[in-house]
Amino acid sequence: MKEKVFISSVQKEFSQERIALADYFHTDALLSTFFEPFLFEEVAATSYPPREVFLPQVKSSHIYLGLIGRDYGWEDEEGVSPTEREYDAAKQAQLARWLFIKEEDSRHPKEEAFFKKISGDVSWKVFQNLENLKQELYKTCITYLKQQGKITSADFDESIHHSASLEDIDDTLASKFIKKARTKRNFPLAIEASKSELLTHLNMLRKEGLVNSALLIFSQNPQYFFPTAIIKCAHFHGVTVQKPIPDFKEFNGTVFNQADQAVDFVLSKISLSTGTREHSNYVDTKYEVPRKVIAEAIINALAHRDYYSKGSVQVSVFKNRIEISNPGTLPEELELNDLKTIHGSYPKNPLLANCLYLNGAIERFGTGTTEIFQLTEAEGLKTPEFTLNQGFKVTIWRPSFTEQTDTNELTRQATRQATRQATRQAYLNDLTPIERTVLILQNEMKSAEIQELMELKNREHFKNIYLNPAIEQDFIELTIPDKPTSPNQKYRLTQKGKQLQMELLKFSK
pLDDT average, residue stretch 497-509 = 77
For residue 256, the model assigns a pLDDT of 93
Examine the pLDDT at 410 and tell me if it is beyond 50. Answer: no
Which is more confidently placed, 48 or 353?
353
For residue 406, the model assigns a pLDDT of 37
DSSP assignment string, 101-142: EE--S---HHHHHHHHHHHTTS-EEEESSHHHHHHHHHHHHH
CATH number, position 488:
1.10.10.10
Classify residue 414: in a domain, yes or no: no
| SS3 call for 458 | coil
Beta carbons within 10 angstroms of residue 467's beta carbon: 21
Give the span between the Cα atoms of 404 and 419, in whole angstroms. Answer: 12
pLDDT average, residue stretch 112-138 = 88
| SS3 call for 204 | coil
For residue 404, the model assigns a pLDDT of 41
Give the span between the Cα atoms of 307 and 394, in whole angstroms. Answer: 18
Classify residue 261: in a domain, yes or no: yes
CATH number, position 245:
3.30.565.60
For residue 86, the model assigns a pLDDT of 94
Classify residue 412: in a domain, yes or no: no
Beta pairing, strands 392-397 & 285-287 = unpaired
pLDDT average, residue stretch 458-463 = 86
Which is more confidently placed, 159 or 282?
159
Classify residue 70: in a domain, yes or no: yes
CATH number, position 90:
3.40.50.450
Residues pairing with 247 in the sheet: 235
Which is more confidently placed, 283 or 212?
212
**One domain, residues 205 and 276:** no
**One domain, residues 20 and 61:** yes
4 Cβ neighbours under 8 A, 6+ residues apart: 35, 36, 37, 38, 60, 61, 62, 63
What are 173-196's pLDDT values in tens digits? 999 999 999 999 999 999 999 999
Residues pairing with 8 in the sheet: 66
Which pLDDT band, with edges at 50, 70 and 90, does 148 fall under?
A: confident
Show which of 147, 164, 179 is a domain's final residue: 147
**Cα-based angle 299, 309, 169 (whole degrees, multiple of 5):** 60
Which pLDDT band, with edges at 50, 70 and 90, does 369 fall under?
A: confident
For residue 45, the model assigns a pLDDT of 47
Examine the pLDDT at 364 and tell me if it is beyond 80. Answer: no
What are 19-35's pLDDT values in tens digits? 999 999 999 988 999 99
Classify residue 467: in a domain, yes or no: yes
**One domain, residues 46 and 116:** yes
Examine the pLDDT at 208 and tell me if it is beyond 90. Answer: no
Give the span between the Cα atoms of 74 and 437, in whole angstroms. Answer: 62
Residues pairing with 112 in the sheet: none
What are 474-500's pLDDT values in tens digits? 999 999 999 988 989 999 999 999 988
Show which of 147, 178, 194 is a domain's final residue: 147
For residue 403, the model assigns a pLDDT of 44
pTM over 0.85: no
Classify residue 393: in a domain, yes or no: yes
Which pLDDT band, with edges at 50, 70 and 90, does 151 fall under?
A: confident
Task: Count the domains in the chain.
Answer: 4
Give the span between the Cα atoms of 329 and 300, in whole angstroms. Answer: 12
* Residue 70 structural domain: 3-147
**One domain, residues 288 and 260:** yes
Examine the pLDDT at 392 and tell me if it is beyond 90. Answer: no
Which pLDDT band, with edges at 50, 70 and 90, does 125 fall under?
A: confident
Show which of 208, 224, 240 is a domain's final residue: 224
What are 261-287's pLDDT values in tens digits? 999 999 999 988 776 555 555 566 788
Classify residue 214: in a domain, yes or no: yes
**One domain, residues 202 and 252:** no
**One domain, residues 246 and 208:** no
Mean residue pLDDT across the chain: 85
For residue 213, the model assigns a pLDDT of 94
Give the span between the Cα atoms of 9 and 66, in whole angstroms. Answer: 6
Query: Cα–chain-centroid distance for residue 120?
Result: 16
Classify residue 83: in a domain, yes or no: yes
Distances (CA, A) of 353 to 164, 360, 499: 21, 11, 47
